[in-house]
Structure 1
């Protein structure tokens, strides 16, 4: 089964558009109602460049792009990221989160998928890796 994954192959690439409505919906689903995710005045008061997408939303978008493209795997063994920059969601234009996922390593039992996650030209997640059982 490991032969279906080749190091360097692109597994998935997708851009997900976020709006302020996306943030409100995510807040309701997650229970994270921190006002930096929906109020410009609060974001400005704490020195942020604008309303921010939830970090876990960004992380979830990245993993969902990869998982939906993988198809037949036995399961996710681990998933981790490091947050580097926030995704600022403009009040009218929203924000695009771009995910590019490539095979980083393969062994007999698993494949490691490495992905780059960007907003505009800024990398927002680093060391983003998902390992799946084969």
Structure 2
């Protein structure tokens, strides 16, 4: 890390596009081929507004933001609640997921980063946080 993380420091918002092709790639990597992540017909049949991103894919985007901010510091904890789905349209644009962060606490070499993960202005993860060794 180039500069130490200070309590109350706001970290630059990271933005990531999410497209259907990303969901297909994630399904292949994770083995999660649930059709709610690729079929509008199945997703709407089970009451969803459309195809949704995998929750763990969304959490991985948060981890990617943490890695960017901390220049690959050791992540010792990453957690959240899955509170709202990210609906991914069947087009070339997809949606944008934004991840904001604020250094909430420092205890020795452990730094807690409070995250805010949104899509279209709505929070999609509840109580997301990361603890890194910095």
Fold-level similarity (TM above 0.5): yes
Q: String of CA shifts for 1:58-100, please: whole Å, max 9, x gaps.
A: 0000111111220263x22211111110000011141111000
In structure 2, distance between residues paired with 1:102 and 1:47: 35
> What is the Cα deviation at residue 19 of structure 1?
0.7
CA RMSD of aligned residues (A): 1.6
> What is the Cα deviation at residue 101 of structure 1?
1.2
> What is the Cα deviation at residue 121 of structure 1?
1.3
2:61 counterpart of 1:57:
no
2:112 counterpart residue number: 112
In structure 2, distance between residues paired with 1:96 and 1:117: 11
Give the TM-score taking structure 2 as reference length: 0.92
Runs of 4+ residues deviating >6 angstroms: none
Consecutive unaligned residues of structure 2, counting only runs of 5 or more, are none
> What is the Cα deviation at residue 108 of structure 1?
1.4
In structure 1, distance between residues paired with 2:60 and 2:104: 20
2:17 counterpart residue number: 17
How many equivalent pairs are there? 132
C-alpha distance 72-66 of structure 1, shift in aligned 2 (>3 A): closer
- Within 5 Å, which residues of 2 pair with 1:8-87? 8-71=8-71, 73=73, 75-87=74-86
Give the TM-score taking structure 1 as reference length: 0.92
Kept after mapping to 2: 8 A contact 1:12/1:66:
no
Kept after mapping to 2: 8 A contact 1:78/1:130:
yes
Q: String of CA shifts for 1:11-35, please: whole Å, max 9, x gaps.
A: 3411100111111111111110000
> What is the Cα deviation at residue 109 of structure 1?
2.6
In structure 2, distance between residues paired with 1:130 and 1:57: 16
Secondary structure of the residue aligned to 1:66 is helix
